[in-house]
Each structure stands twice: as C-alpha cells, then as structure tokens.
Structure 1
Amino acid sequence: MKIGILTHQYINNYGAFLQAYALREAVAEMFPDDQVEIINYMNVKHSLINILGWFRFYKDRENFKAWKQKIRVPRNFSNARKNQMVMSPVCFTLNQVNKQRYDCILVGSDEVWNFKDKKSNNPIKFGIGLECSKLIAYAPSVGKSEYSSELPKYVTEGLNKFKAISARDQLTFELVSKVVGKEPTIVLDPTFLHGFPIEKAPIPKKPYILFYYCENLPNHIKNQILQYALDNGLQVYGAGECDKKYSSITVNLKPFEWVDMFRNAEYVFTGTFHGAVFSILNNCQFSVYLTNESRIRKVRALLKELNIQNREIDEEFVLDLKTKDRVIDYNKVNEIVNVRRMESLEYLRKNINDI
C-alpha cells in the first residue's frame, strides 16, 4: 500500500515541520511493509509569504547580528526536509499529486482546514479532486474558521468525502459535526505520537528560562522574569526567536535543535500551541500568555484535555521556581497522554487497515 500525508510540510515553522515528521514516522512504524511518505505538495504563495516573513527586521526586538542569524533559518528547514523527511517528488498541482497513485491519503495535521486563511487555503486540503481509495483526516485544525450557513461549497463537499475524520481541537470538532452530521474522533497532535532524534542545541550547559513566541507579554511581567533570572543565575533564551533582552542569540536553530531547547529548560513561557505541546512532551514547567484567537482556543482545549490547570499568565503573575503551588504533576499528565496516544494510534491503525 502507498500512503501519502498531505499537510503544510513546506512551511518554515518548527511545529509544522515536527508534526509532519512525527506523523510520517508513526505511520511508517505502524506499517513497515508499506510505502509511507509526505506528499511534497507546494502552495507557492503560502511558502513565499512564509519565507519573506523571516526577512522582516523588528528594530524593537532585534539587532543586525540577530537578523543575520534569523535569515538563515529557511535554509535550515530546507536542508532538514531534504535530509530528514521522506517525501514524494515535488507537486504543484492536483494532477501531479494524483499521478503519485496513492492508495491512502492522510490529510493533516496543522491548520490545513483553515479556509479563511487566504494565503494557505486550497480545496485539495479538503480532498477535492484527490484520487485514492481511502481518504482519512488526522488531527486537522480549522484555526479560527467557524461553522456558518455560508461555508464554501468545497468545504462541505470535501468533508463528506472522507472515510474517517478526527480533530485535535474543539472548533474543528464542532465544524465537522455540523457538516457531516456525526462527531469526529478527538486525537492528539502528531508530535505526541513519535519521538525525535537528539540534536544538541548550540548553547552553554547552564540553567535557563526559555521563551517561545510569548507575544505581547506585558513589560512589567517580562522584566520581572528577566530580573528573576539575573538574580538566580539563570540564562534566558528564545527558541528560534530573537529579543535584545535575551542572554544570547538562539534564533538560528535546526528543527531537532529546537526540540532540544525544551528538553533542558528550567521553565518555558509561550503563546503558541506547539510551545505548550513541547513543554508537555519534555515535562517542563511552563506558562502561557495567549492573545491570538486561534491559539487561545487550541491551547486551552489541549490544557483542558490533559487536565493541566493554572497555566495562563494574568497581571499578577510572579515567577518563583521554588513555589510549589503551580507545579504540574507530570505523573498524572503522562498517564493521560499515554492513554490518548494509544487511542490516537489505534484510530490511524484501524482506519488505514480498514478497506
């Protein structure tokens, strides 16, 4: 059997890369005698906008030295895709995808069903025109695209073509339920399904606090965290991001180096879904500051599913690593993750096997 994964693998984003890698590895391990690959479908517009974003200069956060490191990141991702992903030949059209002759196509994860995102949306992600005997959705997200009576026709037609649909967040669950008339299976993000190679991040072996796009964090809270780090002999780094206030520049990271930044952090501050995911995967104590509507929904749903409480930062937040009242009990969290991982893998096994 030839299995293809249709996702946003072309995006230079750590979460996008790692979810695609993990899903492919998990399915390949499950079906070792089959050909499993990521469909190297390119949305040129989406890809170019993403690449150009890495060249923007933010004078309030970056200096020229940091910017010179940042603009190298797209090349890191390009090399990682070539060396660490198993992909089909590049495809720019639906016809080129169909010429690969897949028996089964998995659509997901990531915001592949965010039909309101003009730069990334494409009917092919909803299965329109795809030729295969089994079309399965694994953990797609609609981002902030909500159900309405005026959904694009390709959304309703496409969703009803799928043999099986799962979702990773509540908004996707609600939209699918209303369109197809039955509830999708809630599954974990692919990054929970498979491990990642160890590739040491290029930083000194010193205790540190990690930030990953904790955007718009109030200055009085950020300055308090930075002062706490200084007073307690901690470094402060960004996981693939820049800030003049950090201890050193750690923006130019390869995907698996990025993962390593979470493995060794004393504490993590993030405003993203995958920032929370990799904190959990590495049993990090962490806090979230959420301002993006899509991220608010996705992160809150994840924390609720794993019964992780009190992670959101409010105006009164004060960092104190010696205080135990906000410590996550990872024995309990890991028990939930292990059960949910087995259920998610079983969803894949059952629906790929079922003819």
Structure 2
Amino acid sequence: MKIYTITCHDVYNYGASLQAYALMRYLIKCDNDVEIIDYKPDYLSNHYKLLSIHNPKWKKNIITKSIYLVLKIPGRIPGLNRKKAFDKFKKDYLKLTELRYKSNEDLKKNVPIGDVYLCGSDQIWNTLFQNGKDPAFYLDFVPDEKIKASYAASFATDSIPEKYKPMIKEKIERLDGVGVREKSGVEILKNLNIKMAVNVVDPVFLLDKKDWDVITKEEYGEKYILVYDFDDNQLIKKIALDISKEKGYKIYSLNPGKLKYADSNFTFHGPETFVSLIRNAQFVIANSFHAAVFSIIYEKEFVIVNRKEAINTRMKDLLEDLKLKNRLISDTFTLDDVLKKIDFSDSKKILNEKIGFSKKYLRDVISLSERMRNVL
C-alpha cells in the first residue's frame, strides 16, 4: 500500500520527531511504501527565528524593535545548534513528501495520491494548541473514497471545550478507523456519540529495543541520572539531588536550557541522543510522556512528575494502564518509594497485548484499502 501519514513531525520536540519516525518505520517494515506529509503551517513555523518579536509592546517602532532584537539575538544564536541536530535527524530518518504544504487548502488543491491516509500520533487533536483546531490533522483534505484513519491521535486532556465539539465530531465521523492514544480519548469520543474509537499504543511502542538501538550510537562512561524537565520543576530537582547524593550518580540534563545543578547538559542534541541517554541511564526523572515511554521500553528505573500545563492525562493513563501508577510522584514522596526497584513483568504482559491489538488495528485499516481495490 502507498500510505501517507500526517503529524506534527517538525516542531523540534523529541517525542514529536520520534513518534513520527516510529509509525513510518513500522509501516515500512510491514512492506508498505510510506511518506510523511511535510505539513508545516505558519503556526508550526515559528521556531528558531532570530528576528521574531514575541512581545507586542516591543513592536511599536524601529527603535523598540532594535532594542528588543539586540537583547534577544545573542541568546538565540546557540539554539541554532539544536535546530541543526533536529534537522539532521529529519534528513537522515524521515521520509517526507517532496512538496511542503502550509494549509489544509494547499493539501486539498494537491492531495498526495495514496491508498491509505493516517493522522497521528501525538497531540494532533489537542485543542489547547492550534493543531487541534486544524482540519488537516483530521484528514479533511482526503477524498471520501480513500481510506482515512487516525493512529494514536491524542487530545492530551480529559475533556475538550464545548465550542470545538461540533467540528471534531464532524471531522472524525468521516474516518474509517479511529485509534486514539489514551483511554480518556475513547471516552471523549463516546460522549460525542462516536463509538468506533479504540485505544492503541503510542507508535514508538511498535518498534522494539533492537529497532531503537539502530539509531542510538552514543555511549557514556559513567553512571548518571537523566533529567528532562519542561517546567524548571523544584520537585524534579529535589529528587535528582537526593538520588545523586544517595547513589553517587552524576546528573545529566536534556533540557532546552542548561540546568545549573546538572553535571552535564545535552542542550543542543537531537532525538538520537534522547534515546541514547535513556537507554544508558541508571535512573530517569521527567515530566515528559515520551521519557516515560522510552524508560518502559528499556526497562529503566524512572519517576514521572506532573507538568504545570493541563496535559498530564496522557502520562497518567499510560502509567495506570501498565500498572505503574506508583511511578507518578507527588510532593509527599519518600526516597525509599522512588528507589524501590520496578518489577516490569506485569507491565510487559499488558503492553505486549496492547501492542498486538494496535498492530492488528493497523492491519485492519490497511486491509480496507486492499478490499476496496479488489472490488474496483
């Protein structure tokens, strides 16, 4: 089958890049011809622009603009190294369409010709962000006669605002298959009277450790705790410092900005380093969904802390489903609780069943196109 996927693949985020790669790679392993639609609307194109002015009060005149940029540009230049690392990953590992599309209308005017179209994974339906309101991420541009489905699409929250429900219901009812990443997503759709939705795993789970080892070449010569923190979270800092003191491990950080308490900062590295650092860590502390996912794949000791943003449902659902709920840590933690060794045996059984179900879902979606082709 010729399959096109669409997701937020180029937003300089580890999880976004890796889930895009994983779905593409798994479908290729199943002998399909797969491309990721290079969809880059304006609202996803604001990364690493040296001359952008985000605060309206500095846009008053040429003098205020100049002052703003003189203050901001020196701090932005080092970030281009991170952009370079992600762009290299995209070039080396993601098979994109030759055309880049900037809007749903662009896609409608020149639809890439394929057999099956998949939207997902990740937070493509999160209405807290613009992508959750964008018809393109609901495959609105795909003709009615083509097979359309979501795979592991995420709302990232427990509920969606009332004003977006009619649009979401209309767009999703056009799909031939609805696979969402969280069980809460299934409930959201049931409340919209969409009963065909099923819960499937994040696409990074479709690849096993051997598949991921192909892109993880880096080794580190010491024992370390890996910290990945979006919020400058004081609880994460305390846990990291307590474990470091107890175990004598170094602290490595993957944060976009340097952590002062870390021994080594991997600020400007790409997705391959993200996976390598988790694979080789003694302990992972994060408020990242995909940090939890890769910790589970590599069976690493880890804890997860809630984010300030209201997008914690995906982490809570994942850990509850795999009987790892105790790895979600609050302010009342004790070091003994954190350091209690994780028994992954039950989690692996549950996860393997979910992976099997998810692979069957994809096979069934693809077979719809095969049956349609035979009929025609």
Q: TM-score, normalised by structure 1?
A: 0.86
Percent identical residues: 26
| SS in structure 1 of the partner of residue 345 of structure 2 | helix
1:91 aligns to what?
A: 101
Runs of 4+ aligned structure 1 residues displaced above 6 Å come to 64-68
Partner of 1:10: 10
**Partner of 2:206 in structure 1?**
193
How far residue 232 of structure 1 moved from its aligned partner, in angstroms, is 3.5
Task: Indicate whether 1:336 and 2:334 are aligned.
Answer: no
- What is the CA-CA distance between 1:297 and the residue it aligns to? 1.0
Counterpart CA distance in 1 for 2:132 and 2:190 is 23
Q: Deviations over 1:224-258 (max 9, x none)?
A: 63254146331100125420110022112121121
Q: Kindly indicate whether residue 37 of structure 2 is the aligned counterpart of residue 45 of structure 1.
A: no
C-alpha distance in structure 2 between counterparts of 1:120 and 1:45, whole Å: 12
Separation in 2, partners of 1:350, 1:181: 19
**For the residues of structure 2 that align with 1:9 and 1:265, how far apart are their CA atoms?**
26
- 1:249-290 deviation digits (Å, cap 9, x = unpaired): 211212112101000111111112111111111101111110
Paired residue secondary structure (2:327): coil
Distance 1:263 1:161 in 2: 40
Distance in 1, matches of 2:200 and 2:13, equals: 22
1-structure distance, mates of 2:338, 2:160: 45
Deviation at 1:99, TM superposition (A): 3.2
Q: Match for 1:298 among 305, 314, 318?
A: 314
Task: Tell me whether 144-153 or 154-163 shows the greater mean CA deviation.
Answer: 144-153
1:27 matched residue in structure 2: 27
Shift of 1:170: 3.2
Structure 1 or 2: larger helix share? 2
Q: What's the TM-score once normalised by structure 2's chain length?
A: 0.82
Any residues of structure 2 matched to 1:1-355 within 5 Å, and which?
Answer: 1-30=1-30, 32=31, 34-48=32-46, 50-51=47-48, 70-89=79-98, 90-94=100-104, 96-97=106-107, 98-118=110-130, 121-131=133-143, 133-144=146-157, 146-147=159-160, 149-151=162-164, 153-194=166-207, 195-196=211-212, 197-201=214-218, 204-213=220-229, 215-218=231-234, 222-223=237-238, 225-226=240-241, 228-230=243-245, 232-241=247-256, 242-319=258-335, 326-354=340-368, 355=371
Distance in 2 (alpha carbons) for counterparts of 1:215 and 1:93? 31
RMSD: 2.8
Rounded to whole Å, the distance in 2 between the matches of 1:215 and 1:125 is 27
Deviations 1:62-103 (A, max 9, x none): xx9997654411121112111211111222233553431122
Q: Is the 8 A contact 2:242 2:335 kept in 1?
A: no
Aligned length: 340
Deviations along 1:189-245, one digit per CA (max 9) or x if unpaired, are: 0010013223333x64100001111635336x7246325414633110012542011
Letter in 1 for 2:217: K
Structure 1 stretches of 5 or more lacking a match?
57-63
Q: Structure 1: how far apart are the matches of 2:74 and 2:225? A: 22
Preserved CA contact (<8 Å) 2:127 2:155: yes
State the Cα distance separating 1:314 from its structure 2 match. Answer: 2.6
Distance 1:119 1:41, change over 3 A: closer
2:307 and 2:149 map into 1 onto residues whose CA distance is 32
Bigger shift: 149-158 or 272-281?
149-158
Q: CA deviation at 1:347?
A: 0.4
State whether residues 287 and 313 of structure 1, in contact with CA within 8 Å, keep that contact through their aligned partners in structure 2. Answer: yes
Could you tell me how far apart the structure 2 residues matched to 1:100 and 1:44 are? 20
Indicate the SS of the match to 2:265: coil
Unaligned runs of 5+ residues in structure 2 are 54-72, 372-376
Distance 1:247 1:263 in 2: 18
What SS does structure 2 have at the residue aligned with 1:347? helix
- The residue type paired with residue 308 of structure 1 is L
Distance verdict in 2 for CA 1:123–1:28, change over 3 Å: same
Find the aligned partners of 2:335 and 2:141 in 1 and give their Cα distance. 52
Q: What amino acid is aligned across from residue 215 of structure 2 in structure 1?
A: I
The AA in structure 1 aligned to 2:126 is N
Distance 1:236 1:151, change over 3 A: same
Shift of 1:145: 7.2
Does structure 2 conserve the Cα–Cα contact (< 8 Å) formed by 1:290 and 1:296? yes
Measured against aligned partners, the alpha-carbon deviations of 1:282-320 in whole angstroms (never above 9, x if no partner) come to 101111110335432111100111111311223243435
Give, in whole Å, the separation in 1 of the partners of 2:91 and 2:367: 29
Report the secondary structure of 1:211's partner residue. Answer: strand
